[in-house]
A and B are shown apart, each in its own frame.
Chain A
């Protein structure tokens, strides 16, 4: 699972008011090279919760993202490359996602988060 997906996920356990961002528990992560596409990054940028991306990237050992951003930075190739790397090239392989309100763990195995809810969480 890439940080792109992490940035889109939000815990939907019954009764949880704000399920974002899910905490990251990293046992293993991998880096995979992906084609660089600035158009995609520009299209995604307004939808990204930046703080959550910065924190998640750090948890995965990547601390190059600026803490504060504004859309003018999308003109910078250097910024786009870092954004690209954090969003699409860092994969959580083994570990868990943690609901910020309830602490419930969603295990991640072979890169796939298990988001299935228990009966009483629906």
Chain B
């Protein structure tokens, strides 16, 4: 059976009463969601002035992500499509206000009033057509369009997400850009299948210095078990981006280029993953003559 909940049932059915309870009583899930939310708040990069902001938690579920916002002292409005998840949030007496709402229908909010938004493990749900009237493209468009309008100028929205494929990530990113957002994807621990986490970091308004993509964590990291995620302060941070606003060239790496050793290692990694890789020869990683 597929382990992706998105492929099993629509969210309001999948997150029924028993799943909502199971989800929130698992200490492992509670801990993971808290970590993801903390990182999302960090990426929101709100001014460091101690002033509480009004934030959105999109797909807030039982309030695990929203609780992190409360811990930072912020006020928040959470919305979710699953009544059962919201019921658990009520039981847990979260501090934010809750709305039963389908993000794919667009947000019912005034223009320019929200200081920032986070969404933890939720937005990939929008890519499924769960009803005959659902068109993922229209739903993504309605969602990002309304989010863009509701945010104050310069405000950020950070989505931790589990896209099913590269195409799905591109689809989500594409609709965010079309709505007017600037930004891209930050990948923390890209080399670890266990710790790898993706965040879509969006800024409302035209590209500027403040819309630059923040650094990812542990891009070089071999050691990134779940336990040392937060002790990564000293690691070299690098950026993994997929950013429409940047010219292609910038994505290419440095003047010297990668050396043969690096290339052989990469090819080996790909082989271990079962990918088809051309054999290593004396031509591998050789300097090419400049032509034309």
Residues of A within 8 A of B (CB): 1-2, 4-5, 7-12, 19-20, 37, 39-40, 42-44, 47, 49, 88, 110-117, 119, 122
Are the C-beta atoms of A40 and B52 separated by less than 8 Å? yes
For the complex, would chain A's binding face be called helix, strand, loop or mixed by DSSP majority?
mixed
Are the C-beta atoms of A113 and B54 separated by less than 8 Å? no
Cα–Cα distance between A49 and B110 once the two chains are bound (Å): 10
Cα–Cα distance between A42 and B105 once the two chains are bound (Å): 32
Cα–Cα distance between A60 and B98 once the two chains are bound (Å): 19
B: number of interface residues (CB 8 Å): 33
Distance of A88 from chain B, by nearest CB (Å): 8
B102's partner among A2, A42, A43, A117 (CB-CB below 8 A) is: A117
B32: CB under 8 A from chain A?
A: no
Distance of A17 from chain B, by nearest CB (Å): 13
Q: Which residues of A contact B86 (CB under 8 A)?
A: 112
**B residues 40-75 with Cβ under 8 Å of A?**
50-54, 73, 75
- Given contacts A39-B50, A112-B99, A12 and B146 within 8 Å (CB-CB): yes
- Given contacts A8-B114, A40-B75, A115 and B51 within 8 Å (CB-CB): no
- B139 — nearest CB in chain A belongs to which residue? A122
Cα–Cα distance between A52 and B53 once the two chains are bound (Å): 21
B109: CB under 8 A from chain A?
A: yes
25 contacts between A and B (CB under 8 A): A4-B54, A4-B97, A7-B110, A8-B113, A8-B114, A9-B109, A10-B109, A12-B106, A12-B107, A39-B50, A39-B51, A42-B51, A43-B52, A43-B53, A43-B115, A44-B54, A47-B152, A111-B90, A112-B99, A112-B100, A115-B79, A116-B100, A116-B102, A119-B133, A122-B105
